[in-house]
Amino acid sequence: MKYVLSFFFMALLLLNAKLLLAQQPAIAGLRFDYKKYYLDQRKKKYTGTDTIEVVYRFTNSGTQPLLIESVSSSCSCSVPDYTKAPVKPNETGYIKLTTTYDKLSLIKKVHAVVIANTKEKYYKLELFLSGKDNVNP
Amino acid sequence: MKYFLHCLFITFLLASCTSEEAPVTEKIVLRNIQFHELNIDTLLVEPPARSGSGFFRLSGNNLYFFDDIFLTVSVFDTAGNFVQRYLGKGHRPDEIEDFLFANFLADSSLVFLGKSYNISRYDQQFTAQYQVDMDWNRKANIQYGLSDGDKTGTYGYNYYNGFYDNRWLSVIHQNKLIIPIWISPGVNSRLNAFRNYEAYYERAKTVGVVDLRSGKVEKIFGRRSPAYKKYGAIPNYDFLTLDSRLDSIYVSQAIDSMIQVYGPDYELAYEFGVAGQNMNTSYPTAATPMESEKIWIKAFTDYGYYYNVYCDRTSAMIFRPYTKDESNIGGLQIYEHAALIADVAVPKRFNIIGKIGEYYYADGLVNEDQLGLYRFKLP
């Protein structure tokens, strides 16, 4: 009898866990490798109208396909590009900001707002004209 | 003799007409200190996403965070629990194209100002009602000059873009937005805070009245404090904040200890105030926009100035926060009617936004690491 009750209790626990899992909404997740990028001029010296391209890679950390709905830059001096197709769970995509050194050196930093089909929905990516102590992740 | 008297009379008349002297108004300097410190709580909140930039507002029994990068409005209860999120960037009626300033009106509907100072109105459910551009009646083919201090077209919104946020919007007569104004050197190269700054201090108006429906700037009024002349060219401190209660408009200028009170006819009725404690007032001067740009961070972080004024609609209280110097401690003055009843230490950026129950709430802790408000009860 004791064995039957124990078995029944375990089955109930498993059923509850399954029900809880089923209640979790299946959603996409968006995890960036980094969201801030500091232009490191120790590796490459930028001058004048040199083009600066920064790629922010991300992974779909959720259970549904991830869709980047839009990316908008804080200023017309930078142009965003991004993975347009849905990104499957555990797969990666990118968001790229392109600007020129002379424009970035005027305003020191730009940011882009990313809208995606996740719970958070909004993300901010930043590009800074580096200080010497700034090191990228 | 008759000829002499006649000349004297005409001279007197001419002198009266050309005088730039400010009219004499009642100035009240009154201390009635009732307490010396506040017990301040911190209420941290966590929206689903935050950019680290924006401001808090209060309406009814809820607290609202306006994220000016994500263009969202997150609602919290007084325990700090997230309730709901509104808006977001977009063109649908439940979205917004951009905003820089926002506030609730008395009926809990909303007014927003965009980055180009366009007005957007939303109802209590955060649904767009209409959008209209601010109309300054600016003539493109006119070169504004020294004598144009009375023309609305030479003015623009005076947003100092400082460190402690002064993006409060206030409305009078139910549908008239009152805004701080200034003259940009780009619009008027002769009369501005850099060139001919003494004439600017004397002639330039400080407040604009904007019709919320049409966007038209209907009236400009107000005088800069005579204290500005004492400091010379200090364009970084050419800003003011304002609020309204009943039919009165309260104007606090950055460097002036006096708060001006204008009546419903937009005439200066009286001034009151007491200087803040331990304020570094050796303000740095700047003769050109470039010089001003070079020193602006230091000007805002290292010196003492008044950066907001708030009138409690439920009492006779008026709150005015100020900076002292480069330290992290700021001051908060609390007035009851015109009498200073407290001048207490508070964190820098301490903008009262309203009252729920016994607690006053202040914006706040807004940065990438933390998002929250301060709250306190009056002793």
Instruction: Read off the CATH number of the domain in which A47 is found.
Output: 2.60.40.10
Asked if residue B15 belongs to a domain, the reply is: no
CA distance B338 to chain A (A): 44
Question: What are the CA-CA distances from residue B335 to residues A57, B29, B97 (Å)?
Answer: 53, 11, 39
Is 0.95 exceeded by the ipTM? no
Q: Which residues of B touch A119 (CB under 8 A)?
A: 48
Chain A interface includes B74 (CB < 8 A): no
- Does the distance separating the beta carbons of A119 and B48 come in below 8 Å? yes
Q: Which residues of B touch A120 (CB under 8 A)?
A: 48-49
Structure tokens, B370: 């933390």
Instruction: Read off the CATH number of the domain in which B88 is found.
Output: 2.120.10.30
pLDDT in tens, B251-266: 999 999 999 999 999 9
Domains of chain B: total = 1
Average pLDDT over residues A106-128: 94
User: Taking 90 as the threshold, does the pLDDT of residue B201 lie above it?
Assistant: yes
User: B233 phi and psi, to 5 degrees?
Assistant: -85, 100
Distance CA B317, CA B28 (A): 16
State the pLDDT at residue B17.
Answer: 43
- Does the distance separating the beta carbons of B48 and A113 come in below 8 Å? no
Structure tokens, B98: 């951009």
- Does the distance separating the beta carbons of B51 and A113 come in below 8 Å? yes
- Does the distance separating the beta carbons of A115 and B48 come in below 8 Å? no
Asked if residue B3 belongs to a domain, the reply is: no
Distance CA B40, CA B374 (A): 6
pLDDT in tens, B50-59: 999 999 999 9
Asked if residue A136 belongs to a domain, the reply is: no
Domains of chain A: total = 1
pLDDT in tens, B337-368: 999 999 999 999 999 999 999 999 999 899 98
Range of the domain at A109: 27-129
Q: Residue A70: pLDDT band by 50, 70, 90 thresholds?
A: very high
Q: Residue B183: name the closest of B136, B227, B216, B225 by CA.
A: B136
- Does the distance separating the beta carbons of A122 and B88 come in below 8 Å? yes
Asked if residue B2 belongs to a domain, the reply is: no
End-to-end CA distance of chain A: 59
Asked if residue A67 belongs to a domain, the reply is: yes
CB-side neighbour CA atoms (13 Å) of B35: 12
State the pLDDT at residue A129.
Answer: 86
Range of the domain at B287: 25-376
Structure tokens, B244: 């309204």
Helix (H, G, I), strand (E, B) or coil at B150: coil
Asked if residue B213 belongs to a domain, the reply is: yes
Distance CA A94, CA A87 (A): 10
Asked if residue A37 belongs to a domain, the reply is: yes
Determine contact, residues B321/B331, Cβ cutoff 8 Å. yes
**B12-22 per-residue burial string, b: 16 or more CB within 10 A, e: under 16:** eeeeeeeeeee
Asked if residue B4 belongs to a domain, the reply is: no
Asked if residue B10 belongs to a domain, the reply is: no
Structure tokens, B217: 């700037």
Structure tokens, A1: 């009898």
